[in-house]
Structure 1
Amino acid sequence: MKPCMLLLPLALAGCLQTPEATSPAASAGASAEAAANATSTTGSGLLSQYHWQLNDAIDSKGRRIDALFVGTNRPVQLDFSADRLTVVNSCNNMGADYSIKKGRLRIGPMVSTLMACHDAALAALDDAIAQRLKGSLNVNLLARGDTPRLQLVTDSGDTLSFTGVPTAQTRFGGPGETAFLEVAAQTVPCNHPLIPDKQCLLVRERHFDEQGLVTGTPGAWQPLDQAIEGYTHTPGMRNVLRVKRYTVNNPPADGPSVAYVLDIVVESEKVGQ
């Protein structure tokens, strides 16, 4: 079978990568501006330490906004960097600049890719998000306990409630190291004392410069006897992944001292049998 290659931009400078009913946040909840002021040395603040996953959305009359809930396993997610808001799990990659002033989240013009989605509900999700994530929204952040909550209220009265899930950087206590791993199309047998006939990914390290051009010589192929968080392997597909590599502090005796978290898939190829 003739190989079919799909090459995606490396985007080395960065990339665009899950219900309970809630009421408006109580006054005891800290405002997002106050939370943002309690920043780390990078200035990213509490917002950037979590993936914010939509768990509830109601309009001004208390009715659930069903258009915002398309995939039960892939809820709409907001990721914040120092000054950039990215929407995850929509039809297209979406993002905008943002700022927080006096308890208001001000969102700049939303920028989106133009990919066509065949699922009508998923295609409509982009519009449903863009209609609500624009202009100035009232923002409340309840940061008590292990699970922070974020609430955005539009001027029209729509209330969007999000649950915070710690980012990998938060969980592992540091920014991690960027690396590129090429994953072979087929897994290989590997030894495991508790799992007979275990199959492992076959990987080798790759190198690219800031323009996304290949540099150096690929590393040696070797089995990877652990998962890459966020990556699901499809037999017959060779992939090049941009990953974040984190040091695991105090790993268990039988656990790895390094964790790999998928950033983006930069290259995919279907390999013939």
Structure 2
Amino acid sequence: MKNMMLLPFALALAACAQNAPAPGPTGATPAANATAAPAPAVADTATLAGYHWRLASATDAGGARIEALFPGADHVLTLDFADGRVSVSGGCNGQGGRYDVGDGGKLEIGRLVSTQMACEAPLMDADTAIAALLAQPQAVHFEEGTPPRLRLVAADGSTTEWIGEATAETRYGGEGETVFMEVAPQRIECHHPIMPDHQCLQVREIRYDDKGVKQPPGEWEAFYGDIEGFEFREGERKVLRLKKFDRPGPVPADASSVAYVLDMVVESALVPADDAP
């Protein structure tokens, strides 16, 4: 009788042992609701196009730094994505080609077309190294933050990290209007409510017809603001292609409600002082 009374108790203990989770390495029971680490975000074409991507680090499959991608402190490789094309700058030559981001975040870049300038060896080596790297399929991972980061992992295991700088379209919330402006080779005196003895750029509007033929220019006038990305050099006349944006939100009283961003230098020439307007 005593053995018969113990049998149900032994069976109950065995059932509990079968249903108990296996202990972890330290003997602790893993939590039933443990959350797996989130997978890295995958960047789409809109995310890529929203920033200028400047190279921060590059390592090969063994973890060694890829020295050829860093030609010097004054030259940082940069990727720009727009309208289905990627542009590479920062080395000797500008390079560009078609790109596509497929399912699963794979970046595929077509054959890069390059300008044909000759430079010092480090810059030429950087061109060769980045072209070879981008010829491989890249796994793309995006990390939000200030600033955002982009990690590209090539098929051979090489990894590059890029830091994002918002494009003008991202900062101002739109595509902007394309305008052309000629900048005179000398500044002129102009009245500024805050900065005494301020000198303004002297500019005039340039227009082209539907066939790209330049029309008679507008009148010269003082330009009180700044042109983002443009560096004035006295004695140089330049025609600039600009993106014109309306500044969002409240604008300070001493600031313009319009922002101009350099898109391209169309013409550039040295002008003798006597020929200045």
Q: What is the TM-score with the length of structure 1 in the denominator?
A: 0.81
Partner of 1:190: 190
Deviations 1:47-71 (A, max 9, x none): 1111111111111222222211124
How many residue pairs get aligned? The number is 235
Describe the SS at the equivalent of 1:135: coil
Partner of 2:166: 166
Describe the SS at the equivalent of 1:126: helix
Alpha-carbon separation, structure 2, partners of 1:251 and 1:123: 44
Note closer, same or farther for the CA distance 1:121–1:261 as it changes in structure 2 (3 Å cut): same
Deviations 1:52-111 (A, max 9, x none): 111111112222222111242442111112411111222111111111122211111111
Q: Which has the higher contact order (CA 8 A, sep 6+)?
A: 1
Partner of 1:31: 42
Q: Are 1:91 and 2:102 counterparts? A: no
Partner of 1:228: 227
Deviations 1:16-74 (A, max 9, x none): xxxxxxxxxx8532112xxx2xxxxxxx5111111111111111222222211124244
Which amino acid counterpart does residue 204 of structure 1 have in structure 2?
A: R
Structure label with greater radius of gyration: 2
Alpha-carbon separation, structure 2, partners of 1:267 and 1:136: 38
Q: Are 1:239 and 2:241 counterparts? A: no
Deviations 1:129-148 (A, max 9, x none): 10101131121112x23322
**1:107 paired residue among 106, 109, 118:** 109
Which amino acid counterpart does residue 184 of structure 2 have in structure 1?
A: A
Identical residues among aligned pairs (%): 46
Describe the SS at the equivalent of 1:128: helix
Partner of 1:47: 48
Matches of residues 93-172 of structure 1 in structure 2 within 5 Å?
93-101=94-102, 102-117=104-119, 119-142=120-143, 144-172=144-172
Partner of 2:205: 205
Partner of 2:82: 81
Which amino acid counterpart does residue 241 of structure 1 have in structure 2?
A: L
Alpha-carbon separation, structure 1, partners of 2:74 and 2:221: 33
Describe the SS at the equivalent of 2:128: helix
Deviations 1:226-263 (A, max 9, x none): 11100101100000000001111221121111111001
Displacement of 1:150: 0.7
Partner of 1:60: 61
Partner of 2:9: none
Which amino acid counterpart does residue 111 of structure 1 have in structure 2?
A: V
Describe the SS at the equivalent of 2:64: coil
Matches of residues 239-258 of structure 1 in structure 2 within 5 Å?
239-249=238-248, 250-258=250-258
Which amino acid counterpart does residue 205 of structure 2 have in structure 1?
A: E
Q: Are 1:219 and 2:230 counterparts? A: no
Partner of 1:17: none
User: In the alignment, is the contact (CA less than 8 A) between 2:193 and 2:254 conserved in 1?
Assistant: no
User: In the alignment, is the contact (CA less than 8 A) between 1:108 and 1:135 conserved in 2?
Assistant: no
Which amino acid counterpart does residue 122 of structure 1 have in structure 2?
A: L
Partner of 1:21: none
Note closer, same or farther for the CA distance 1:210–1:53 as it changes in structure 2 (3 Å cut): farther
Q: Point out where structure 1 has 5 or more consecutive residues left out of the alignment.
A: 1-25, 37-43
Alpha-carbon separation, structure 2, partners of 1:204 and 1:170: 27
Q: Point out where structure 2 has 5 or more consecutive residues left out of the alignment.
A: 1-36
Alpha-carbon separation, structure 1, partners of 2:69 and 2:46: 27
C-alpha RMSD of matched pairs (Å): 1.6
Q: What is the TM-score with the length of structure 2 in the denominator?
A: 0.80
Structure with higher helix content: 2
